Copies of this chain bind each other. A is one copy, B any other.
Amino acid sequence: MTLRPLLCIRIDDDTMLRIYEERHAQEVAELVDQNRAYLRQWLPWVDDSRTVEDSKAFIRSSLQQFAQNEGFQTGIWYRDTLAGGIGYHQLDWVDRKVEIGYWLSEAFQGKGLMTKACRTLIIYAFTELGLNRVEIHCAAENIRSCAIPKRLGFTQEGILRDSQWLYDRYVNMVIYGLLAREWQG
C-alpha cells in the first residue's frame, strides 16, 4: 500500500474505497470495457457506459449526489488498481435507509473483496450515517451477487417479479434487508 495521501475509506492494507473523481474516468472506462461481456450478464447500465466521456458523466452525477447529501459512489481499489465499484443509491434520510449497489471485474473475483467492501459500507451506514436499514437488490438468478447479502446476514424479504429490464428480458429482483439492531460488527 502506498503511503501517499489519498482521500479514501481504508479497508485494510491492500484495499480501499475512493470516491470517484473526474480523473478516474479513464480507469473506470477501461475496466468496464475489459469486462463488458462479463458485467453485461447482470448489470443493466453496461451498454450506456461506452466512452471515457460516459464515465465522466456518471462521475459528475455521482459527485452531485454526494454534494446533495444523498450518498456517494466509490471505486474499489486493490493494491492501487481499480477492481470494481460500490456505493449508496439515493439515501432516504426520512426513513433512515439506503440501498447498496456494487460490481466487481472478473479478475478480482474470489478474493472476498466485495464482501469486505460491502461490510465496510454497512458499518459506515449504521455508525457514521446513523441509518436504520440497509437494502441489497439482486437479480434472482445472479447467484454470485445474492451470496453477498446472505453471507453478511441479510434477510430475504421478497422477490419483485419483472422488476428490472436487462437488455432483452425482465428479471425478478430479490430484496434483502438488514436492520441496525441485527448487526453486530
Contacts and interface: CB of A to CB of B under 8 A. Distances in A.
A54 interface: no
Main secondary structure of the interface of A (DSSP, over half): mixed
A180 to B, nearest CB: 9
A155 interface: yes
A105 interface: no
A157 B165 contact: no
A127 interface: yes
Given A21-B69, A44-B94, A66-B63, A123 B5 contact: yes
A94 B165 contact: yes
B179 A95 contact: no
B170 A120 contact: no
A46 to B, nearest CB: 13
A147 interface: no
A68 to B, nearest CB: 8
Contact of A132 (B22, B133, B160, B170): B170
Given A5-B123, A7-B19, A69-B22, A155 B161 contact: yes
A113 to B, nearest CB: 15
Nearest to A96: B165
A84 interface: no
Interface string A22-38: 11000000000000000
Contact of A5 (B21, B44, B120): B120
